[in-house]
Amino acid sequence: MKTSIPRYSRISGTGSFLPPKRLTNDDLAAQLAADGIETSDQWIVERTGIRARHFAAPDVTSSDLAVEAAKLALAAADCDAASIDLIIVETSTPDMVFPSAACMVQQKLGIKGCPAFDVQAVCSGFVYALAVADSMIKTGAANKALVIGAEVFSRILDFKDRTTCVLFGDGAGAVVLEASATPGILASELHADGRHVDILCVPGTVAGGKVLGDPLLKMDGPAVFKLAVGVLEDVARGVLAKAERTDADIDWLIPHQANIRIMQSTAKKLKLPMDKVIVTVHEHGNTSAASIPLALDVAVRSGKVKQGDTVLLEGVGGGFTWGAVLLDL
């Protein structure tokens, strides 16, 4: 009897891109003050850990950022774009209603014929997209995938609401995920609870040539914080159990970069020192679906995260969605 050879997926390259325009908290405070909105560097840092963020120029789209991150990931993987046979983009801020940002990335990279689609799970989206790509590679539906998180959240911020507009930034992160004979993605776990759709949302849509509802981000910060700190520990435990690993096996935790206090809480519950947590929120703000791959790429290129390390990725987002992926790099 012929025995099937196990098939796995591994990350072979990472890349990220930030728009050139960097706004410190002082820059943003001055901008808001012109409209009578008060905030300060101290107020923002104490509550979030954020010190700066990047905003895209008006003519730059999510797919533009995605392409730049993808090029760097392809180069890191020593991979030609023509060999990619799957593209998944996670974005909550696509270039247009349709087609997908993934199809636009496909066009801009000169790739033809392979499946390309977007995933929408907001800040958990990269974890969702990575889990989908892993499943498709394991079943033989793809061999080499581009998985990208890209956002221009600056377009959906209410700059009259200092509790939300100071939190977010723009950027993109990407990985090349390839079929492998040895395990890379060890386990994934995804969840959602639609009862909480209202605590983080953009309650607007386009109909009849007009915007219906409110096209700006709304968030119940305390409710999001309370849910996040609970589900992040649970999903971490779940994915470790699936992979038959323990807290002690985690070399690095790369969480969604939303709030330093949420990251500190999760690390404490997993008995991880903060020097084992990759933190970029201070420089990038919350880049939603881009935050995890951005942080991963920064960690890899800085030499912190190395080949062979065991890494836990986890995120929470509007929906309410949450998920985790455990992997060996």
Beta-ladder partners of 317? 321
Is 256 an active-site residue? yes
Query: 123, 201, 259, 284: which is the annotated catalytic residue?
Result: 123
- Cα–Cα distance, 29 to 105 (Å, whole number): 34
Is 123 an active-site residue? yes
- Cα Rg of the chain, angstroms: 19
Query: 103, 256, 259, 284: which is the annotated catalytic residue?
Result: 256
Maximum distance among all Cα pairs of the chain, rounded to whole angstroms: 76
Is 259 an active-site residue? no
DSSP letter string over 241-277?
HHTT--GGG-SEEEE-SS-HHHHHHHHHHTT--GGGB
Query: 25, 103, 259, 286: which is the annotated catalytic residue?
Result: 286
Specify the residue for token string 């190395």.
306
State the angle between helix axes of 41-48 and 25-33 in degrees (0 to 180), rounded to the nearest 10. Answer: 120
Residue type, 306: K
**Rounded to 10 degrees, what is the CA torsion of 283, 292, 116, 121?**
-100
- Cα–Cα distance, 111 to 71 (Å, whole number): 12
Instruction: Just list the catalytic residues.
Output: 123, 256, 286
